Structure 1
Amino acid sequence: MGVVAKRSSMTFYSDGECHYSHRVRIVLAEKGVTVDIVDAGGEHMPAELADLNPYNSLPTMLDRDLVLYENKVMMEYLDERFPHPPLLPVYPVARGSSRQYIYRIERDWCVLVDTITQGTNQKAVEKARKELRESLIAIAPIFAEKPFFMSDEFTLVDCCMAPILWRLPVLGIEIPNTKQTKPLLNYMDTLFERESFQESLSEAEHEMRSGKASS
């Protein structure tokens, strides 16, 4: 897949099933960057990746002579290199808050997603699944306050949230439709209907919701 526009050209080595790769693809789509997306992962790791990235890991981004292999660095680099639309607030205090939210998403939720997807210990998987579901339900009311994650504008924080929320069905997590969870469910609809999100989806991600990606 490719995100088409008339700005720059770069190569993005992406795992079509990984939420860390997905968050960067959302940023690429938001920025309208012309990018060659190489779908990799598992037994399909490109031979050149080991030469580019000392960890031979995904995602990896190549922009001319620059190689990046940490997803948060990639997102902020793209936001600075292509400043419109901005995906981090202008003011330092607000930027700091956004970075702190991303840190908490990774500490509180990404580790649980990784535990579930790795699936090496069934007891740990069930525990992580229960914690993630309960945590999302508990935080659901905050989405009634603003249209996006603690913000009036779509930001990098939402780019980190969207891939997790999209994967809930394949993670074995169902959010009940209640008065408490309605703001979260509305937030999810807002994210999933966004044009950049639709453009960001890999073939594997389309299948995660049984063909509902383009609905």
Structure 2
Amino acid sequence: MTDIKIYSSVACPYAHRSRLALLEKGVEFELIEIDLQNKPAGFTDISPYGKVPAITHQDKRVWESAIINEYLDEAFPNPPLLPNNPLDKAQARIWIDFANTRLVPAFSNLLRSPDSETQEEARRDLYKHLDFIENEALAKLSGDGPYWFGENISLVDLSFYPWFERLPALEHFRRFTLTSEFTRLQKWQNAVSQRESVRKIANSKEFYIERYARFTNTKKISNNLSAAGQVTPEELQQAAAKGFRSVLNLRSPNEPGFLEDEQQKAQTAGLEYANVPLIPADGNQNLTEEAIQQIKNLPKPILIHCAAGGRASGIALIATAIEENLTYEQIVHKAAELNISLEQSHLKQFLIEKVSI
């Protein structure tokens, strides 16, 4: 029987940190997954802030990822994840604080803010912070070693890495990439990503793109149609408050993360609801036509959603092209303006037919 329980959520980067620390320590633990949209009764008895991660050790509780990780390093001293030298340990804490107060807010603002000016400010801040890490941290502290403090992995590496695993979401939604000038950061990221602990709980870029789709702002395709990734019950309420009158769900009930009571939640919010299950890689013409017909019939404006926004954007653009009688060139131009991939299967099939007419 394990003495440690960790309360976690698979998509949470803070919980990711503490799971990595436990794995690096080789400590047995019980993982308890928390649905942050539907927290279990009594969860605040474990985590007073109602957040993850939190741990219990011998029935005593600790919360906040940075504090959890230091506690684990002291409670289970081997292998050590902080330097022994007081000055080096102070440097480690400085950099963990830098992650918490500089890098993470910039990352979050760039990904989540619907305001373009806030996004651009966050983009500049994130680039500045990465440059500071490259030249002030890795250039001066790593030496020839692959990690923050050289040859040995530390809590600093584990504190930063979860956000680097999530960079594909920034590239997908905000076109932010780790450019070639960040040679030390790229070497560091590659080294950490190959650790057994990291590989054991790593998620794919597609996983993060799907999970973070709901944090990005809804994409307005036309005056009547907007596209989004999976929405929560709270976001359905927000959509109604913003003036949407209908929701069109393009997900299949057997997809992971499908909200089974979405129709009920939408109708409770005062929205009309329809579901046309489009398969992402299958440009089925009959289902495309059914989705277009629903768009014609539903009260407008309509919020169209899928898992990550790809199918929704494609179908909304097709409906707009039909309504506005757009030419092939106009559709391609509008897709580029809205950052919609022409490889989206339903849109691709529609364009093939458009060319053949």
Structure-2-length-normalised TM-score:
0.51
Alpha-carbon shift at residue 11 of structure 1 (Å): 1.4
- Pair 1:52–1:87, CA change in 2 (3 A): same
Instruction: Tell me, yes or no, if structure 1 residue 176 matches structure 2 residue 179.
Output: yes
Instruction: Tell me, yes or no, if structure 1 residue 123 matches structure 2 residue 113.
Output: no
Instruction: Tell me, yes or no, if structure 1 residue 50 matches structure 2 residue 44.
Output: yes
Aligned to 1:132: 126
Work out the CA distance in 2 between the residues paired with 1:118 and 1:175: 19
Alpha-carbon shift at residue 206 of structure 1 (Å): 7.4
Alpha-carbon shift at residue 31 of structure 1 (Å): 0.8
Alpha-carbon shift at residue 98 of structure 1 (Å): 0.8
RMSD between superposed Cα atoms in Å:
2.5
Alpha-carbon shift at residue 194 of structure 1 (Å): 0.5
Work out the CA distance in 1 between the residues paired with 2:209 and 2:37: 24
Work out the CA distance in 2 between the residues paired with 1:32 and 1:185: 27
Work out the CA distance in 1 between the residues paired with 2:41 and 2:19: 22
Structure 1 alignment gaps of length 5 or more: 1-6, 211-215
Instruction: Tell me, yes or no, if structure 1 residue 207 matches structure 2 residue 207.
Output: yes
Alpha-carbon shift at residue 113 of structure 1 (Å): 2.2
Letter in 1 for 2:163: I
Alpha-carbon shift at residue 168 of structure 1 (Å): 1.0
Work out the CA distance in 1 between the residues paired with 2:62 and 2:177: 35
Aligned pair count reads 201
Work out the CA distance in 2 between the residues paired with 1:51 and 1:169: 35
Aligned to 2:160: 161
Question: SS where residue 62 of structure 1 aligns?
Answer: strand
Aligned to 1:191: 192
Work out the CA distance in 1 between the residues paired with 2:35 and 2:182: 34
- Which structure has the higher relative contact order (CA within 8 Å, separation 6+)? 1
Larger Rg: 2
CA contact 2:66–2:159 (8 Å) conserved in 1: no
CA contact 1:129–1:171 (8 Å) conserved in 2: no
Deviates more, 1:164-173 or 1:144-153: 144-153
Alpha-carbon shift at residue 120 of structure 1 (Å): 5.0
Alpha-carbon shift at residue 56 of structure 1 (Å): 1.5
- Pair 1:122–1:62, CA change in 2 (3 A): farther
Question: SS where residue 89 of structure 1 aligns?
Answer: coil
Identity of aligned residues (%): 27
- Pair 1:117–1:204, CA change in 2 (3 A): farther
Alpha-carbon shift at residue 182 of structure 1 (Å): 2.2
Aligned to 1:4: none
Alpha-carbon shift at residue 157 of structure 1 (Å): 0.3
CA contact 2:169–2:205 (8 Å) conserved in 1: no
1:110-130 Cα distance to aligned partner (Å, 9 max, x none): 111232344354432332133
1:82-124 Cα distance to aligned partner (Å, 9 max, x none): 1111000112111111111111222220111232344354432
CA contact 1:17–1:205 (8 Å) conserved in 2: no
Work out the CA distance in 2 between the residues paired with 1:155 and 1:40: 27
Work out the CA distance in 2 between the residues paired with 1:182 and 1:143: 10
Work out the CA distance in 2 between the residues paired with 1:75 and 1:8: 18
CA contact 2:53–2:63 (8 Å) conserved in 1: yes
Question: SS where residue 107 of structure 2 aligns?
Answer: helix
Alpha-carbon shift at residue 70 of structure 1 (Å): 1.3
CA contact 2:168–2:205 (8 Å) conserved in 1: no
CA contact 1:68–1:74 (8 Å) conserved in 2: yes
Question: SS where residue 37 of structure 1 aligns?
Answer: strand
Alpha-carbon shift at residue 12 of structure 1 (Å): 0.9
- Pair 1:76–1:198, CA change in 2 (3 A): same
Aligned to 2:29: 35
CA contact 2:53–2:65 (8 Å) conserved in 1: yes
Work out the CA distance in 2 between the residues paired with 1:189 and 1:130: 24
CA contact 1:9–1:33 (8 Å) conserved in 2: no
CA contact 1:10–1:63 (8 Å) conserved in 2: yes
- Pair 1:38–1:204, CA change in 2 (3 A): farther
Alpha-carbon shift at residue 62 of structure 1 (Å): 1.4
Alpha-carbon shift at residue 190 of structure 1 (Å): 0.3
Structure 1 runs of 4+ off > 4 angstroms? 203-206
